[in-house]
Structure 1
Amino acid sequence: MDKKEFTVSEVIDSIGISSHTWVVFVILGFAMIFDGYDFMIVNSTNLFVAHTFWPDNANPGALMGSLTTWGLLGMVLGGAVGGILSDKLGRKKTLIMAVMFYGFFTLPQAFANDLAFFAAFRLIAGFGVGSCIPIVTTVFSESMPSKQRGVFVTCGMAFMVVGWVLAGLIANPICNTPTPIIEGFCNQIDYVTADGGTATMYANWRLCYLIGGLPLVYGIILIFVMHETPHWYANAGMLDKACERLTQIEQATRGTSHVYDPALLVVPPRPEKTSPVVLFSNKYIVGTAAIWCTYFVGQFCVYGMNAWIPTWFVGVGYSQADSVMLQTWNNVAAIASNFTVGFVADRIGRKRNLAGSWLFCIVAIVLCSLFVAPNNMGLCIVLMLLFGFALNYAITAVQPLMPETYPTAIRNTGTSWCQAFARFGGSASSIVLGGIAGMAFFQNAAGGTNWSTVVLVLIVPFILGFVCTVLFVKETGGKTMDQLAAEEVDNPVKQNSGGLEFGIMMVVVAILAVLCIVCPLAIPGWSKMPIALPLMAIGLLLPFVYFFVFAGKELAARK
């Protein structure tokens, strides 16, 4: 037995890519596939769900956009609570609870006949989905060698997009089946079409939500195949269990192993406080600004466009089946981007990779706006592949930065609160874009929505993403998790509580929620009011103003 001090990161780095690496990769990969399916199934079925809930309304607008919003709001709550639970109870226990939770509460959505019932269970199921994603990101960051950490974190996110694609591939044939797949359960719907006529369908979309209950089974499997991370054990003071787990990892890889002495294990000091408030202290607020702003932009654009891509192409002249298929191609490109972004981030650095991705997005959205055309499926597939690759590349480029911004004691709290806040952008985007689409400025001569003009609005958040990357992102690539934690501990800045900054941020989030989510849903004709667009713009821009002020002030003080 070596009599030399060591850290968890040093041992994991010395072992390198191992059988343990691939076991973790597969375990978390399946969790993300189920997670992605649960989220995207509502976007892949929303046209059919809308016909069921509002058969007499050919254009439900913001109401239809809210089908996506309820799940995202649940994800906000789940992320906020799940992150704290994960740091307190452990990664394994919290992930198992989250997976089984969203599997169980997806099932009742299959029986919904109105928005209230659907929204209630969508909100509850979203709680589990929101808890799952940041835990997966954190476990990847704590389990992988430092040099390959970015690759595995982003490839892990690719599995979520695999779930998105599966949702489209499963929903398209099921929802478009012209006969009831299960008599009595898949009821007949007579609905009004956009041209004022009527059509008939069967609510086969219900089967898609029954399939969404499969995570219940996977949660049971996780109980037996998943292990807690050594980083969490060490940070929780269970040094013997951390060393035991390191020995198991080495044994599985090399056939032989050291017996690691808990007395020699070096654990970076814990922050004085581990509540979410500390994320806004002067020690962490610049890092918080970096990931909160950029991920907010990514969530707004990804979830907003995924909610409305089918509607966009139906308006262009494509069938519902072709429109959902184009959305699916968009997500296929996302898988390719997720597998690519980590390799580039590990090679050229996190900051340059992310900054370049926002510029790529601007080019992609302009091309889509100019060249999307009816009766040219091949061209539209190419454009969706380009846009899906660019947009998902950008949002995934933020992922490695999340766990690298905070020490172990608040790592999942920081990651999950970042994702929870960003989902306000995702929650608002489907409603905001739906509201914008109903404004006179964005209507074509025939009175329909010119979505090719609406999508150009996304240039504004892309520019904000680029500016925030340049200002706030710190390069973290290639460093071990223990090194990054030590840098923050050694930071000479005297840490304040962050209480005031946290309180102001909660007010900003409340204003955002009221102006961009509550008002469009609660006030009839909101999107037609002259004040609607300016107020929603204020709600969306306030968080950026907040971070420019408080994080900018801290940057100036450090210089």
Structure 2
Amino acid sequence: MSEHDAATQPPTLTRAERLDRLPFTRRHGRMLGASGIGWALDAMDVGLISFVIAALSVHWQITKGDASMIASAGFAGMAIGATLGGLLADRIGRRNVFALTLLVYGLATGASALAGGVAMLIALRFVVGLGLGAELPVASTLMSEFAPARIRGRVIVWLEAFWALGWILAAVIGTFVAAEGENGWRWALAIGMVPAFYSLVVRLGMPESVRFLEKKGRHDEAEQIVQRFEESAGIEPGGGGASAAGDSGVDARGTSPSAAANPSPSAAANASPSAATNPSPPAAGTEHRESIWSRGLRGRTTALWVVWFCINLSYYGAFIWIPTLLVDRGFDLTKSFTFTLIITLAQIPGYAAAAWLIEVIGRRWTLTIFLAGSALAAGAYGMADSETMIIAAGCALSFFNLGAWGALYAIGPELYPTAVRGTGTGAAAGFGRIASLLAPFLVPVLVATGTQVLAFAVFAGAFALAAAAAFTLPEQRGRALEE
């Protein structure tokens, strides 16, 4: 082969590049649906506890301290679970950890329905939190590694939007089940066992991350998964691929037949191992593992941790306590839960707006704008003095806060290379859960000191700090995930 012929051969594509070039297919949709259902069940469980606490304050006359312990036990488990889940995802696989977390928190939630006292409920909520905390960053990492690069951010916001569906379901269950009689809260928690059964669907039906499989030297499995996604897009594996790559005679590996048969020395030297048909697995102990605190990553890690901490403090401080605070202001359980349901419905348009903006103005600006909007809405809710103002400001808080969550989950996995992607997203989530652990204790103190106004002023300040930190994160819109 002449130098001219070698120079004109199409470049070899890695499997990651082959996934990035695909359109959004039915297989992507099924994976998004499977991940999203797990995400919604997670949100349902987190949301249910706010209604359970309000119900127990009426039926068991639990103190504010007991209520704080019940909520914080779950968040303590989430802090540990998020960190361990990310580490495990980088070692045993994203799919395996995703399924395991669903099983753990589903069974523990069902057991919580049988709790005979506050102490047992607190212990079980900690176990629930272990599963909940690990599931979210792992699910977003797995989905981000399959989503086409040009719409990756939007896909992750769609995934995060399932949170709204789960929280709405929690509000419906809380309003029509938890509020019904002395044991209504038990039946509400019993419904939370659904994730335990759904974990089997996840384990059997979802593919493992191609990037993870390649890092572990499991190239045959990785190739089969990529080929199935290419088939779903109408590209014949091992054949022409013109629908995605143009009429260049490029096969499913991104290599022309002639180049594959007669590779040039330079092409062979530059070919990525992950793109080869049967590459050799890396030797044990030779895999490079960059730290999330290395020079190139420490700045983004710090900013991401600040955003996670502040958004957790404000979100869980507000939404875990809203039903109880409404009861304290004189509304009965049914009216308090109905107000909360209406406020929760505003999450859906918030996610929709974030999903559109994230690919139009980028991740950084979307996250910053929605966090700033959350700060203003939190301040307005703190000063709300009528039913109309409570609902209006609450809906605005739901809209901006959950839109910010969607952008945050989209930007997190894009900040790290494959070897530490699960670790980076999990560690940030774990650090954020420390704030969610503190929030349930903080709210009663702030309300007792300066009424609801002071509590929501603190939340507004935390949102503003998160917005400032978000603005320092690098913009990753349209870029391929780092290897």
Q: What TM bracket, shorter-length normalisation?
A: 0.7 to 0.9
Equivalents in 1 of 2:442, 2:274: separation in Å? 46
The two structures have a TM-score, normalised by structure 2, of 0.86
Instruction: For structure 1, list consecutive stretches of 5 or more residues without a partner in the other structure.
Output: 179-201, 443-449, 486-559
Could you tell me which residue of structure 2 aligns to residue 155 of structure 1?
158
Shift of 1:265: 4.7
Q: Which amino acid aligns with 2:325?
A: W
Residue 84 of structure 2, aligned match among 81, 84, 91? 81
> 1:174 and 2:161 equivalent?
no
> 1:136 and 2:143 equivalent?
no
Shift of 1:267: 4.7
> 1:10 and 2:17 equivalent?
yes
Question: In the TM superposition, what whole-angstrom CA distance separates every residue of 1:318-347 from its partner, at most 9, and x where no partner exists?
Answer: 222121222222322123212321321111
Q: Which amino acid aligns with 1:14?
A: R
Equivalents in 2 of 1:384, 1:434: separation in Å? 19
Could you tell me which residue of structure 2 aligns to residue 479 of structure 1?
479
Could you tell me which residue of structure 2 aligns to residue 97 of structure 1?
100
Of the structure 1 ranges 334-343 and 136-145, higher mean CA displacement relative to structure 2 is found in 334-343
Change (3 A) 1:15 1:313: same
Change (3 A) 1:271 1:154: farther
Of the structure 1 ranges 419-428 and 359-368, higher mean CA displacement relative to structure 2 is found in 359-368
Contact residue 61 and residue 438 of structure 1 kept, 8 A: no
Secondary structure of the structure 2 residue equivalent to 1:111: coil
Shift of 1:365: 2.1
Shift of 1:273: 3.1
> 1:110 and 2:113 equivalent?
yes
Q: Which amino acid aligns with 1:364?
A: A
Could you tell me which residue of structure 2 aligns to residue 46 of structure 1?
53
Equivalents in 2 of 1:98, 1:370: separation in Å? 39
Question: In the TM superposition, what whole-angstrom CA distance separates every residue of 1:235-283 from its partner, at most 9, and x where no partner exists?
Answer: 2222222122111111123163236459955559997336xxx222222
Could you tell me which residue of structure 1 aligns to residue 34 of structure 2?
27
Question: In the TM superposition, what whole-angstrom CA distance separates every residue of 1:394-443 from its partner, at most 9, and x where no partner exists?
Answer: 2332212210111111111111111111011111111111221122xx1x
Could you tell me which residue of structure 2 aligns to residue 488 of structure 1?
none
Equivalents in 1 of 2:162, 2:147: separation in Å? 17
Aligned residue pair count: 439
Change (3 A) 1:255 1:118: same
Could you tell me which residue of structure 1 aligns to residue 462 of structure 2?
461
Change (3 A) 1:141 1:315: same
Equivalents in 1 of 2:460, 2:51: separation in Å? 25
Change (3 A) 1:37 1:476: same
Residue 361 of structure 1, aligned match among 366, 369, 374? 374
Q: Which amino acid aligns with 1:140?
A: M
Contact residue 8 and residue 265 of structure 1 kept, 8 A: no
Could you tell me which residue of structure 2 aligns to residue 389 of structure 1?
399
Q: Which amino acid aligns with 1:11?
A: R
Contact residue 295 and residue 395 of structure 1 kept, 8 A: no
Contact residue 158 and residue 338 of structure 1 kept, 8 A: yes
Secondary structure of the structure 2 residue equivalent to 1:6: coil
Q: Which amino acid aligns with 2:334?
A: A
Equivalents in 2 of 1:130, 1:62: separation in Å? 23
Secondary structure of the structure 1 residue equivalent to 2:217: coil
Could you tell me which residue of structure 1 aligns to residue 64 of structure 2?
61
Residue 416 of structure 1, aligned match among 412, 422, 426? 426
* RMSD (Å), alpha carbons: 2.2
Could you tell me which residue of structure 2 aligns to residue 435 of structure 1?
445
The two structures have a TM-score, normalised by structure 1, of 0.74
Of all paired residues, the percent bearing the same amino acid is 22
Matches within 5 A, 1:284-299: 284-299=297-312
Question: In the TM superposition, what whole-angstrom CA distance separates every residue of 1:212-241 from its partner, at most 9, and x where no partner exists?
Answer: 111121112223211112122122222222
Runs of 4+ in 1 over 6 A off after TM superposition: 268-271
Could you tell me which residue of structure 2 aligns to residue 307 of structure 1?
320
Matches within 5 A, 1:513-528: none
Equivalents in 2 of 1:39, 1:267: separation in Å? 40
> 1:251 and 2:231 equivalent?
yes
Could you tell me which residue of structure 2 aligns to residue 232 of structure 1?
212
Could you tell me which residue of structure 2 aligns to residue 345 of structure 1?
358
Equivalents in 2 of 1:149, 1:23: separation in Å? 16
Shift of 1:87: 0.9
